[in-house]
Structure 1
Amino acid sequence: MKTILVIEDTPAMRENISEILQLAPYQVVQAANGREGIEQARQIHPDLILCDIKMPELDGFGVLHILRKDPTLAGIPFIFLTAKVEAADFRAGMNLGADDYLTKPFDDLTLLNAVELRLKKDAAVPPHPAEVSIPLGHLTKALLEGNDIRQFLCDYYPTTHYNRKHRLFTAGSRPTVVYFIQQGKGKLFQADAAGNEYITGLVGPGDFVGYRALLEEEPYTETAELLEEAQVCSIPKADLKTLLDHQSAVANQFFRMLAGDVAELQERLLKLAYQSVRKRVAEALLMVERKFYPQSEGRTTGDTVRSESLRFGHPDANTSSVMTLSRENWSHLVGASTETVIRILGDLRKEGLIEINASQITLLDIDKLTHLKR
Structure 2
Amino acid sequence: MKTILVIEDKTEVRENLAEILELAQYRVIQAADGRKGVELARSDRPDLILCDIMMPELDGYGVLHILGKDPDTAGIPFIFLTARIDPAQIRSGMNLGADDYLTKPIDDVDLLHAVELRLKKSQQSRSQSTIDGLAGLLEALQQPAGTSYPCVRFAKKQLLYAEGNGPMALYFIQYGQLKRVKTDPQGNTLITALSKGGDFVGLAALLLNMPYTESAELLTDAQVCTLPKAEFLRLLTSHPDIAAYFMRLLAIELTQRDERLLLLAYQPVRKRVAEALLLVQRTFYSPADAVGTDQLPPSQLSLTNPAMSLSRENWSQLVGASPETVIRVLGDLRTEGMLELSGSQITLLDSDRLARLKH
Give the TM-score taking structure 1 as reference length: 0.56
The aligned runs of 1:20-169 (5 Å cut-off) are 136-137=130-131, 140-142=134-136, 150-152=141-143, 154=145, 155-169=147-161
The aligned runs of 1:196-207 (5 Å cut-off) are 196-207=188-199
- Identify if the C-alpha distance between structure 1 residues 304 and 370 changes in structure 2 by more than 3 Å, giving closer, same or farther: farther
Tell me what 1:267 maps to. 259
Aligned partners of 2:129, 2:150: CA distance in 1, in Å?
11
Are 1:356 and 2:341 matched, yes or no? yes
Contact 2:141–2:148 (CA under 8 A) maintained in structure 1: no
- Identify if the C-alpha distance between structure 1 residues 348 and 249 changes in structure 2 by more than 3 Å, giving closer, same or farther: same
Residues 207-230 of structure 1 show CA distances to partners (whole Å, capped at 9, x for unaligned) of 111121111111111100000111
Contact 1:142–1:153 (CA under 8 A) maintained in structure 2: no
Unmatched runs of 5 consecutive residues or more in structure 1: 1-129, 298-302, 310-324
Residues 97-142 of structure 1 show CA distances to partners (whole Å, capped at 9, x for unaligned) of xxxxxxxxxxxxxxxxxxxxxxxxxxxxxxxxx8657793167325
- Identify if the C-alpha distance between structure 1 residues 138 and 200 changes in structure 2 by more than 3 Å, giving closer, same or farther: farther
Residue 141 of structure 1 aligns with an amino acid whose one-letter code is A
> Runs of at least 4 residues of structure 1 off by over 3 A?
130-136
Aligned partners of 2:287, 2:199: CA distance in 1, in Å?
17
- Identify if the C-alpha distance between structure 1 residues 274 and 215 changes in structure 2 by more than 3 Å, giving closer, same or farther: same
Aligned partners of 2:338, 2:140: CA distance in 1, in Å?
38
Tell me what 2:212 maps to. 220
**Identity percentage of aligned residues:** 50
Are 1:368 and 2:359 matched, yes or no? no
Tell me what 1:308 maps to. 308
Tell me what 2:238 maps to. 246
Aligned partners of 1:291, 1:270: CA distance in 2, in Å?
20
Residue 245 of structure 2 aligns with an amino acid whose one-letter code is Q
- SS in structure 2 opposite 1:305? coil
Unmatched runs of 5 consecutive residues or more in structure 2: 1-123, 290-302
Contact 1:288–1:307 (CA under 8 A) maintained in structure 2: no
Instruction: Report the CA distance between 1:205 and its aligned residue.
Output: 0.2
Residue 151 of structure 1 aligns with an amino acid whose one-letter code is Q
Residues 23-57 of structure 1 show CA distances to partners (whole Å, capped at 9, x for unaligned) of xxxxxxxxxxxxxxxxxxxxxxxxxxxxxxxxxxx
Tell me what 1:194 maps to. 186
- SS in structure 2 opposite 1:348? helix
- Identify if the C-alpha distance between structure 1 residues 257 and 153 changes in structure 2 by more than 3 Å, giving closer, same or farther: farther
Tell me what 2:280 maps to. 288
Instruction: Report the CA distance between 1:153 and its aligned residue.
Output: 7.2
Aligned partners of 1:360, 1:138: CA distance in 2, in Å?
44
Over the residues paired in the alignment, what is the CA RMSD in angstroms? Answer: 2.4
Aligned partners of 2:221, 2:129: CA distance in 1, in Å?
25
Are 1:175 and 2:160 matched, yes or no? no
Contact 1:271–1:280 (CA under 8 A) maintained in structure 2: yes
- SS in structure 2 opposite 1:336? coil
- Identify if the C-alpha distance between structure 1 residues 159 and 296 changes in structure 2 by more than 3 Å, giving closer, same or farther: closer
Aligned partners of 2:184, 2:353: CA distance in 1, in Å?
34
Aligned partners of 1:153, 1:262: CA distance in 2, in Å?
31
| Number of residue pairs aligned between Structure 1 and Structure 2 | 223
Residue 263 of structure 1 aligns with an amino acid whose one-letter code is T
